[in-house]
Amino acid sequence: MAPGVERSFTAASTLEEAMAARRQGAAVLAGGTCMMRDPRRGIDLPEAVVALHRIPALSKVEIEPDHVVIGAAVTHVVLGRALHGAAGFEGLVAAAQGAANPGIRRVATVGGNLCAFDFAAADLSPALLVCEATVELETFKGPKLLGISDFLKDRHTLLTEAIVTRIHLRRDLIASAHIRLPLRKAGDYPVAIVSLAVDKDKRCRIAVGSVEPVARRWTALEQAMAAGPPSALDPERAAGFALEHNDFQGRDGREAEGWYRRQVLPPLVKRGVAALLKTEGLA
Ligand SMILES: Cc1cc2nc3c(=O)[nH]c(=O)nc-3n(C[C@H](O)[C@H](O)[C@H](O)COP(=O)(O)OP(=O)(O)OC[C@H]3O[C@@H](n4cnc5c(N)ncnc54)[C@H](O)[C@@H]3O)c2cc1C
C-alpha cells in the first residue's frame, strides 16, 4: 500500500447509494477474496470501495415456482443452502458447495465470482451458463439485463461503470451436475470444470470452465448429443462425442498446461453424465 494514500470504505444501504459511490470512482468490494490478492499481482488496491452486503435485495435468494433470483452479494454458502434440494439446481449447488475451501465460501459472493474477469477457474460461471442465467446490472444509464454468455464475454468493459445486482434463473431444468477437477483434493483452483443440465424438453446443455480464459457452452457437443434420443444419455457415448468434438484451446497456467486441460474433458463429461443419471429428475 502506497504511504499517505487515504482509503475510503462505504457500506451502502441502498443501490442508489452504491451507484453514487461508483460514480465517484469507488470499486465494488464483495468478499474481498480476489481483491485481497491484487497487490501480489502488482495491482494497487482501489482507493475507494463500496460494499453491497447491507442492501437487502442483493443479499437474498428468492425461490419462486417458475424462477429464482439470486442477489449478487449472496455468498457461496448461502446459495448452496438456499437451493439445496431444489430440483434441477443440483449442479449449481455442487458448484457453490465445492468451490475453493470453507473459509472462502463463507465470504466469497456470486457477484464477485462472476466479476473477477481475470479469474478463469470460477465454478459458478459454467454452472450458471447451463442454467441460461440472465445477469441484471445497474449502470450509470439505468438497469440492464444480459444473457450470461454475453455478460462473461463483455464484462471487462461493462464493469467499468456497472454493478451486478441480481442473477435471474428460469426453473426449466429437470437435472444438472457439476464436475470439477482440482489437482489436490481441495482448496486449489480446478484445472477444468464441466457443468451439465437437462431441460424439460430433455435437451442437454453443457458448459466448460477453466479450460479457456472465459467459460463457455460446448455447443458442438450439445448438438452431437441432441442427434440421439434422450434415452441414449449414456456416459460412455457422451465421452466418445466429447473426444470427437473437442474444440477447446486449453490455456496454459500455473496449475496445468493447456493440452492437459483439454484432454481431461472427455472423462469429466463421462462423470458428469453419470452424475446426471443419478439425479431424481432422471433416475
Ligand atoms: C485460495 C482460494 C481458492 C479459490 N478457489 C476457487 C475455486 O475453486 N472456485 C471458484 O469458483 N473460486 C475460487 N476462488 C475465488 C473465490 O471463490 C471468489 O469467487 C472470488 O475470489 C471473488 O469473490 P469475492 O466475493 O471475494 O469478490 P471480490 O474479491 O470482493 O471482488 C472480485 C472482483 O469483482 C468485483 N465485484 C465484486 N462484486 C461485484 C458486483 N456485484 N458488481 C460489480 N463488480 C463486482 C470487484 O470489484 C473485484 O474487481 C478461490 C479464491 C481463493 C483465495
- Cell match 443419478: residue? 278
Cβ neighbours of residue 193 under 8 Å, at least 6 residues apart? 95, 121, 123, 126, 178, 179, 180, 181, 208, 209, 210, 211, 215, 268
Q: What are phi and psi of 230, to 5 degrees?
A: -55, -30
Predicted TM-score (pTM) of the model is 0.96
- 3-class SS of residue 247: coil
CA angle 195–169–149, rounded 5-degree value: 60
CATH 3.30.465.10 domain residues, the chain: 57-283
Burial grade of 11 (CB within 10 A; 0-12, 13-18, 19 or more): middle
Q: Which atom of ligand 1 is nearest to the CA of 124?
A: 11
Whole-angstrom distance, CA of residue 76 vs CA of residue 107: 7
Query: Binning pLDDT at 50, 70 and 90, where does residue 5 land?
Result: confident
Atom 27, ligand 1: residue with shortest CA distance: 112
Convert the pLDDT of each residue in 205-226 to its tens digit: 999 999 999 999 999 999 999 9
Q: Residue 47: what pLDDT?
A: 94
Segment 128-143 shows an average pLDDT of 97
Whole-angstrom distance, CA of residue 82 vs CA of residue 147: 23
CATH, domain range 1-54: 3.30.43
Cβ–ligand 1 distance for 71 under 6 Å, the answer no
Convert the pLDDT of each residue in 72-125 to its tens digit: 999 999 999 999 999 999 999 999 999 999 999 999 999 999 999 999 999 999
Q: Residue 254: what pLDDT?
A: 85
Residue 132 has pLDDT above 80, yes or no: yes
Segment 159-178 shows an average pLDDT of 97
User: Which grid coordinates are listed for 72?
Assistant: 449478487
Give the helix/strand (H/E) hosting 28: strand 27-29
Convert the pLDDT of each residue in 16-36 to its tens digit: 999 999 999 999 999 999 999
Q: Residue 185: what pLDDT?
A: 56
Cβ–ligand 1 distance for 121 under 6 Å, the answer yes
- 3-class SS of residue 11: strand
Q: Residue 41: what pLDDT?
A: 86
57-283: which CATH architecture? 2-Layer Sandwich (3.30)
- Residue of 41, 14, 45 whose CA lies nearest to 27: 45
Q: Which atom of ligand 1 is nearest to the CA of 123?
A: 11
Do residues 225 and 235 lie in contact, with contact meaning Cβ atoms separated by under 8 Å?
A: no
Convert the pLDDT of each residue in 236-275 to its tens digit: 999 999 999 999 999 999 889 999 999 999 999 999 999 9
Of 15, 19, 33, 119, the one to substitute when testing ligand 1's pocket (max ligand atoms within 8 A of C-beta) is 33
CATH 3.30.43 domain residues, the chain: 1-54
How far is the centre of ligand 1, averaged over its atoms, from the C-alpha of 229 (Å)?
Answer: 39
